[in-house]
Structures are given as C-alpha cells and as structure tokens.
Chains A and B, each alone.
Chain A
Amino acid sequence: QVQLVESGGGVVQPGGSLRLSCTASGFTFSTSAMHWVRQAPGKGLEWVAITSYDGNNEFYADSVKGRFAISRDNSQNTLYLQMNSLRAEDTAVYYCAKEHPGSTGALDYWGQGTLVTVSS
C-alpha cells in the first residue's frame, strides 16, 4: 500500500533553516510528481511546491519562492523540502502528497504531516 512518511520537523528560530524529508513506498516514486502542502495551526490548507517526476521542473507558492527548495532522490524514494530564512508565518504542519496518475494536480495520497514551529 502507498505510504508517505514525513520527518525533519521541529522548532527553529526566525531566520533559520530546516530540511524536511518524505520517504515513499508502495508505488513507483520515480514516475510520480510530488507536492508539499502546509497548514498553519487552526487555518486552511496552503499549497507550497511541486517537483516533476524527474526533478527537472518545480513550481512554488509566492509566499515561499526564493526561500524554499523542493528536490527529490529517486534512488532513495525520498522527497525533500529545504526551508531557509524561516519566518513565524511558516509555522505549520507540512504534508507531502503524491500526484494522481490519471489526473495532473490531484493529490491522491498524503503523509501524516510534520510540524514546523518557527519561534524564538
């Protein structure tokens, strides 16, 4: 069965950096586009970034562009999110999600999420 397991969350000071990981299993990771979505405490969902199946294309939300970088290692079935220059408003649960094979953009499986807290 499809499994996505995020890790790397924690508490970081404003201006700091953190790298999230998402380990995938149960599907062909190397042929799936992958996304990050976040949810601030008590708030709605916010799409963050996508990487194409081969890592050659990526897009970002305006709120994280230039600060966050999505990447992947298909040999390790792992997705990453490098987060730099973190701000208080980046505090959220971060989910990784795989793209539906039959519908570009639809997110058919999600991880359980990892909490990032930006605070001094």
Chain B
Amino acid sequence: DIQMTQSPSSLSAFVGDRVTITCRASQAISNYLAWYQHKPGKAPKSLIYAASSLQSGVPSRFSGSKSGTDFTLTINSLQPEDLATYYCQQYHSYPRTFGQGTKVEIK
C-alpha cells in the first residue's frame, strides 16, 4: 500500500497568513493527488485534484504543487472560514490512502 505522510498534524495561524501543508508519498504516484477540506459536521470537500488543479468553485487562495513525491497545499491569506482539517489522498492505485490530516486553527 502507498503510505501518505502528512505534516504538520496541526497548526495555528493568523487571518491573512500564508499556510503550507505537505504530504509525502511512499512511492511515485505521478500527479494523482487530491486535497480535501473537512469541516466539523460537514461532508469533506475536494479542493485540489491532479496535484495542482483547483476544483471548480474553490477560492483561488488555495493552491497545490508537486516536487517529486512531495506535495504541498498552500492557503494564501488564511480566512476564518478556512478553519478545518485538511487531508491529502492518492488515487494512483488501490487501496486509496489518505494522509493523517492537518487541523488548521485560527489564532
């Protein structure tokens, strides 16, 4: 199985800050990587697919990038509504695997 190692497990930042979350795959997954936002009591929502493509309707302050087997989700200018847990997921092969999640809090 492909392991997805996500860091940090949590972070706290001010409104307006730039936030970066990383995810490392245990083997090559090309760009078959998605990022999800999960707010308490809500269904997870896809933000980024194919490592760097923005899902329709998602604010442009969210972006994704890839370097080898390392993937990054960046939130430019953090907003109060971005309070959530963020997960990466590989869809290169089965079983699909998620990172452990990063809880983003607002200072």
* A, B co-complexed: no
Q: Show the binding face of A for B, using Cβ within 8 Å.
A: none
Q: Show the binding face of B for A, using Cβ within 8 Å.
A: none
